[in-house]
């Protein structure tokens, strides 16, 4: 390709790019200042659903995910059989995410995340116990460990976004039994 053709192609490409950026700026409202010449202020954040029907549905989801999590923990405690620990952890996460969807104040947001961390920490310990005794798989213990690290990171990031907030003590769940570690397999 000749130098002239390459120069023409580069010029045309940069022209299309510049035109695209101008259009993008105009469409997003960021390309021009408002009529008063001042830059736009921050967009106000919505603090949860404004529609009462949506709020009621989210509250029902919280209740349902909490019940599913608690029932799975009861089944695990009563049967001492290996369980899909990562599935149980996913219900803890759904429970937390739905709490956050309600747009709680920062202290309640951090509390919901921390409670999820604690639930996941209990599951990770239990999954590791099952793997150690041969009643579960190491892979399952590692999956829950990963989910615990993910939850802990979420708490660290949320805490950094809200410095100075002191979290209240964790309230134990009334219907959530602490599952006992699995019994050791019989010796041969």
**For the chain, which residues make up each domain, given as ranges?**
52-161
Sign of the dihedral through C-alpha 67, 58, 118, 112: negative
pLDDT digits 0-9 by tens, 132-180: 999 889 999 999 999 999 999 999 999 999 888 877 665 665 554 455 5
Task: Tell me what pLDDT residue 97 has.
Answer: 97
- For the four alpha carbons of 156, 161, 163 and 167, in that order, the dihedral sign comes to negative
pTM for the whole thing?
0.65
């Amino acid at each position: 390709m000749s130098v002239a053709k390459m120069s023409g192609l580069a010029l045309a490409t940069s022209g299309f790019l510049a035109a695209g950026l101008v259009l993008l700026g105009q469409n997003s409202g960021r390309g021009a200042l408002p009529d008063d010449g001042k830059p736009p202020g921050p967009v106000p954040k919505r603090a949860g659903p404004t529609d009462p029907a949506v709020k009621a549905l989210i509250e029902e989801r919280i209740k349902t995910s909490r019940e599913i999590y608690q029932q799975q923990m009861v089944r695990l405690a009563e049967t001492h059989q290996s369980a899909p620990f990562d599935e149980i952890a996913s219900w803890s996460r759904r429970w937390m995410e739905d709490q956050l969807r309600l747009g709680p104040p920062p202290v309640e947001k951090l509390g919901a995340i921390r409670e999820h961390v604690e639930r996941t920490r209990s599951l990770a310990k239990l999954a590791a116990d099952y793997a150690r005794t041969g009643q579960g798989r190491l892979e399952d213990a590692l999956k829950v460990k990963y989910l615990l690290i993910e939850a802990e990171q979420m708490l660290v990031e949320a805490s950094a976004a809200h410095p100075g907030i002191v979290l209240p003590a964790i309230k134990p769940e009334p219907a959530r039994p602490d599952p006992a570690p699995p019994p050791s397999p019989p010796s041969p």
